[in-house]
Structure 1
Amino acid sequence: MTTIPRTWASGEVPTGTDFNTEVRDQFNSIFAAWTPYTPAWTGQTTNPVLNNGTISGRYLKVGRTCHIQIELLMGSTTTYGSGGWVLSLPFAASATGNRIGLAHAFQSARVQGQLVVAPSASTGLLFFPATTSVSFLSLATATAPVTWAAGGRIYVSMTYETAT
């Protein structure tokens, strides 16, 4: 993770350690491997239960810019809860600006959607068309945009500004 570079005084002579800390280590953080995290998957009324499904996430944070990817795979014993679905982020979002990520659902159809994050939120709401035959978006649920079953997948990619 990057740190804020120090402020140098006029005439100050940096050492090798200073260069490693202030230059090398900063660049290394930009080229580092992505960090895994396990997103929480919740419902607005009752929570889904993953059981033998899987959820994984990973992120790359450079300064206050965070790139994330999430994959949710439904298992044969997964239950889907009720109410709109919510996925957690690795870091809270900034208090200003809009954040909308891409989401892709695959079950009996492929459906494009969005992950929408409110200012200062640490979670995002999943939106897809209410059914595969309409174009307006609604919250993803046990039956929207498809009736979910084992083997169903949701993929999310997003870049957002973090609060810190």
Structure 2
Amino acid sequence: MADPVSPAEGQLIDKAFWDIEVYDRAMNLEGPWTPYTPTWKAGAVAATIGNGTLTGKYKKVGRLIFWAFRFAWGSTTPVPTDAGIWFFGFPPGLPIVGDQAGSARCTSPNGFQWPLSVSQNVGIEMWFTTPADAAISRTVPYTWGASTAGRSITASGFYETTA
């Protein structure tokens, strides 16, 4: 999408100008989001999802990227062997300029929710921390395993890109 333009002094806003500068931009805002599959790592080791779900979507509007993400633990999701922090990928090919803003929560099957902070790692991955400033890992906010099926992390936010 091109940068917005203003009509020159005395220029009438004709149909072509209206279509390109107003209508097409508005339709892009309402258009579909692009799905993507986020990466998942525990420390430096790729993790596998089993029968859980790991989905993402994004919407590019000019140089702003709006993103949404959901991770749900399944009954066959294996506990990562690496005890490190869990990292999840931002939309690929859309590098971050500066900081990103976002919010997240961890939800249990009974509906209990923990608010999480979203941070970025080298501009390509996100990680989450609890209100106690503990990073999400295989033991935070609880020990993940077969008994934690149905627990999830949901996040959304936005950032500026160079792409």
Structure 1: distance between partners of 2:155 and 2:102: 7
Asked if 2 retains the 8 angstrom alpha-carbon contact of 1:47 and 1:80, the reply is no
Partner of 1:85: 86
After superposition, the C-alpha distances for 1:68-125 in whole angstroms (9 at most, x for unaligned) are 111111111112322111111112211x3x324212112375221112125x612112
Q: What is residue 117 of structure 1 aligned with on the other side?
A: 120
| Equivalent-residue separation in structure 2 for 1:46 and 1:79 (angstroms) | 13
Structure 1 residues 144 and 48, CA, compared in 2 at 3 Å: closer, same or farther? Answer: same
Deviates more, 1:5-14 or 1:83-92: 5-14
CA displacement, residues 16-43 of structure 1 (integer Å, 9 cap, x when unaligned): 4454233321221122232222111122
Report if the CA contact (8 A) 1:48-1:78 is conserved.
Answer: no
The answer to whether the 8 A contact 1:92-1:123 is kept is no
Partner of 2:141: 145
Cα RMSD (Å): 2.5
Q: Which residue of 1 aligns with 2:68?
A: 69
Whole-angstrom CA distance in 1 between matches of 2:20 and 2:74: 45
Counterparts of 1:154 and 1:11, CA distance in 2: 53
Number of aligned positions between the proteins: 154
Deviation at residue 12 of structure 1 after TM alignment = 7.5
Partners of 1:10 and 1:124 lie apart in 2 by: 46
Deviation at 1:51, TM superposition (A): 1.3
Q: Percent identity of the aligned residues? A: 28
SS of 1:139 mapped into structure 2: coil
| Secondary structure of 2:45 counterpart | coil
Which AA in structure 1 matches 2:124?
Answer: S
In structure 2, what is the Cα distance between the partners aligned to 1:9 and 1:101?
A: 38
Matches within 5 A, 1:8-47: 16-47=15-46
Residue 138 of structure 1 aligns to a residue whose secondary structure is coil
